[in-house]
Amino acid sequence: MWGCDYGPMSGGWWGGFFPGSLLGLLIWGLVVFMMVYLAIRIFRPQKPGPQGPSRDRSDSEAILKARFAKGEISREDFVKMRQTLSQP
């Protein structure tokens, strides 16, 4: 009022008339948006490696090879089982 420059139109509260306050709001909006975006990126559960049939098939082949190497199954059984796994 009398020599007091803290009114909404004088640049005290919001940085001046409409353009200054709009710029301030845009900057604060951008800051809040970036904080939310970073929080989502940091705290989002990580996706594990490949899933589904391809992973199951590779795990099954590894088990089959290990069983053959230990002598638990014969060569003929190994070949039959590997052919069965390779079918779509």
| Mean pLDDT taken over the chain | 76
**Both structure tokens of 35:** 């904080």
For 28-44, give one letter per residue: b (16+ CB within 10 A) or e.
eeeeeeeeeeeeeeeee
Mean of the pLDDT values across residues 67-85?
Answer: 91
> Is the dihedral angle over the CA atoms 37, 38, 43, 47 positive or is it negative?
positive
Question: Residues 10-19: pLDDT tens digits?
Answer: 555 445 554 5
pLDDT tens track for 19-47: 556 777 888 899 999 999 999 988 887 76
Which stretches does DSSP call E strand in the chain?
none
pLDDT range class, residue 3, cuts 50, 70, 90: low
Quick check: 49 and 57 in contact, CB under 8 A? no
Higher pLDDT, 88 or 25: 25
Residue 68: CB partners within 8 Å, gap ≥ 6? 75, 78
Q: What does the domain layout of the chain look like in residue ranges?
A: 1-44, 53-86
